[in-house]
Amino acid sequence: MRTVRTLCAALAAAGLLTACAQGPDSTDSSQDAMTTTNTLLAEWEGPYQGVPAFDQIDLAEVKPALEIGMQKNLDEVDAIANSSEPPTFENTIVALERSGRDLGRVFAYYGILSSNLSSPEFREIQSEMAPKLSEFNSKITQNAKLFERVRAVYESDELAARSPEEQRLVELVYDGFARNGATLEGEAKERYAAINQRLAELHTTFSNNVLADEEGYTLYVDEAQTAGLPESFLKAAAAAATEAGHEGQYAIFNTRSSMDPVLTYADDRALREQVWRNYYSRGDNGDEYDNNAIIAEILQLRDERIQLLGYDNYAQWRLENRMAKTPERALELMEAVWPAALARVEEEVADMQAVADSEGAGLTIEPWDYRYYAEKVRRAKYDLDSDEVKQYLQLEKLRDAMFFVAGELFDFAFTPVPEGSVPVFHEDVKVWEVTKKSSGEHVGLWYLDPFARPGKRSGAWATSYRSHETFDEPQNVLSSNNSNFIKGAPGEPVLISWDDAETYFHEFGHALHYLSSNVAYPTLNGGVRDYTEFQSQLLERWLTTDEVIDNYLVHYQTGEPIPAELVAKIKRASTFNQGFATTEYLASALMDMRYHTDDPTGIDPDAFERENLADLGMPSEIVMRHRSPHFGHVFSGEGYSAGYYGYLWADVLTSDAAEAFAEAPGGFYDQEVAAKLVEHLFAPRNAVDPADAYRAFRGRDATIDALMRDRGFPVPGE
């Protein structure tokens, strides 16, 4: 039974997506002929155990591919459910793991169309198919005969004789049914399915509304408004404007990668305010793309659904199988950090206001001033110029640095595949073969789609088109990283900020998690949300290691390594602006939890956001990192709903694990600690309970102390 985490938003899944397996078809069907003529359903051909035909995507094939794939999967599931043989691990659990191959291949293309190549035409298909996909999912999770067979295996004496990995597989499959309506009957069962169907529609609409506002608010400015902006940014913005038919102007996209440099460097305060308002009002403009009413309906439906299952609130249901276990434990962690973050913001604002006053700016710090004056404070306090740092952060060099780290810690080597040998969905996408550095053994492929463009959702993310498995035949991994960097002018390197460099490493950590898998069964490639961010957050720490700094952070013009004194400034300033970074994140995480623990009856999201932020003491100079109307983590699907706190939970593990490397004889490249990292924290994926896996690595549970030290906050008891 397969869960496809990367398509949760697209499919609005409640948590279990049997259909999303990927790999060669292993079943017979009367529809086989149609399968082979539809590119999206066809078995993958070519090298590397077969690869998706991304260069042959045809929108006309999407609906029929989904419909055929769903029916084939339902036929497979019905055959399992109606078997005359007594239920066993092999004929029930393993059979489910083997099902859904055809539809899984379709979802690889569907995810690309949704996230990387979206268009108005595809969004119409997406809106039409979302409720049908939800209905399909409900037919599986609410198949009474199927659930009885799963439950029989779960409760059988046979289970005790199975390996720990197989026992966990059965537990996860059983839990996926039981927590998603399989135990309901009659009207409650019908209502549960109807709610899922409506949520699928709402999640899709929410996501598409945000994308519409990102595409619809591109700003074209004249040179007079560009004072203070870095030359590298202006070259890229000019090239983008020219490509869009605005010769002589500069394009500012309504995405974080474009917004952030403007708010950090632009001297024109009116421009900063306009860019800020465009970005933070996505989904909140009172027009056809406004998401407030959608949020209200989503919250009410989620609450109604969990009441059918007997829970007090949505967060209680969501966290039951996470590391935090309860909303109270998640809130306890966030509330332990929140006061220190607020206190730091107060200090930061005072420093910024002092700079503004000394310049005679005649202003009071507003949200669109925060990054701009923080940069001035950074220069004054640490003599550190972020734009100077960017000159040493070349996108391609950073990619090479990530490959180096992967080689040292994971024994991976990355080799570019010959151009044209692996189909790609856009000319910007490049592909590498991943092998074991020590033996040359093939592991999989890594796709990289680095640049922003219309139709591509904002932000950065990782996904996989095929996951590791061995239970039938060994299956390699097809992993992918996706970013929204602004493409440089022709012949110019792409220079990025320090924050973006950390994000680049972060998302690569997810890819390494996919590539490291040694599990036998597809379901075990899933993960526990407040744990799976840990591996990626940990990888960020290697950006500041001497080996990366000395060899890959070189000036884009001279090729000279970054000066030691500049590195020292970066490290001294490592806790700078942590008030801002922690508070904008925690505000979103706390709001997410409040949305999902309060009674949503008659909720007005706009008022709820304002009132709760006031109750939390949110500083007026900062806004939530993701305001409610564009909080895609929470409202475009259910992957992070009541779970955005998970980044902080994972960061507790990250800080603690980083200290294990820092304390080791070989530092961050200590081979003994690296081997334990891969063995216990990357390779098992979800085959081991996360708490047990972390204890096996560290010898104890993590504590909050290392996190507080990392952020420069007071450590409790010290």
pLDDT digits (tens, 9 = 90+) for 187-245: 999 999 999 999 999 999 999 999 999 999 999 999 999 999 999 999 999 999 999 99
User: How far, in Å, are 519, 520, 550, 648, 680 from residue 470 at the CA level?
Assistant: 7, 5, 40, 34, 19
Give residue 5's pLDDT band: very low, low, confident or very high (50, 70, 90).
very low
Active site residues: 507
- The full set of domains in the chain, from first to last, is 5-183 (1.10.1370.40), 217-280 (no CATH), 395-505+541-572 (3.40.390.10)
Structure-model confidence comparison of residues 37 and 313, the more confident one: 313
Instruction: Give per-residue pLDDT as tens, 452-492.
Output: 999 999 889 999 999 999 999 999 999 999 999 999 888 89
pLDDT tops 50 at residue 24: no
pLDDT tops 90 at residue 375: yes
Q: Which candidate, 343, 329, 346, places its Cα nearest to that of 652? A: 329
Instruction: Give per-residue pLDDT as tens, 538-553.
Output: 999 999 999 999 999 9
**Is the model's pTM score more than 0.85?**
yes
Are 410 and 682 a contacting pair, CB within 8 Å?
Answer: yes
Distance (Å, rounded) from C-alpha 664 to C-alpha 625? 35
Neighbours of 610 (CB within 10 A): 12
User: How far, in Å, are 60, 191, 232, 547 from residue 678 at the CA level?
Assistant: 43, 44, 38, 20
Q: Which two tokens stand for residue 707?
A: 């996190």
Distance (Å, rounded) from C-alpha 541 to C-alpha 544? 6
Are 230 and 494 a contacting pair, CB within 8 Å?
Answer: no
DSSP string, 277-324: HHHHTTT-SSSTT--HHHHHHHHHHHHHHHHHHT-SSHHHHHHTTSSS
Instruction: Give per-residue pLDDT as tens, 613-629.
Output: 999 999 999 999 999 99
pLDDT tops 90 at residue 283: yes
Strands 219-221 and 250-252: antiparallel
User: How far, in Å, are 326, 527, 671, 694 from residue 534 at the CA level?
Assistant: 19, 11, 20, 10
Give residue 717's pLDDT band: very low, low, confident or very high (50, 70, 90).
confident
Are 643 and 8 a contacting pair, CB within 8 Å?
Answer: no
Neighbours of 699 (CB within 10 A): 9
